[in-house]
Amino acid sequence: MQRYQILVAWSPEDEAFVAQVPDLPGCMAHGESETEALKEAREAIRLYLDVLAESGGAIPEPREYHLLTA
């Protein structure tokens, strides 16, 4: 499977950690812990890619991200 970036952050609105996959629009998951949100996001990625493959959609290539620190 491709390696996609997953961003995990606390959401006060959801009262949960939310994991988003920037390269796969709408692909996200949540969990009570960062670890759980990450695990659920990996499953969401698998399902997202399965649906794309079944429907003949193009599988997006993961982008390279460069983190900058100040």
pLDDT above 70 covers a percentage of the chain that reads: 99
pLDDT digits (tens, 9 = 90+) for 37-69: 999 999 999 999 999 999 999 999 999 877 777
- pLDDT at residue 31, rounded to an integer: 97
Give 1's pLDDT tier (boundaries 50, 70, 90).
Answer: low
Determine the Cα–Cα distance for residues 38 and 48; give it in Å rounded to an integer: 15
Q: Please give the helix or strand (H or E) that residue 40 lies within, else none.
A: helix 34-55
pTM: 0.85
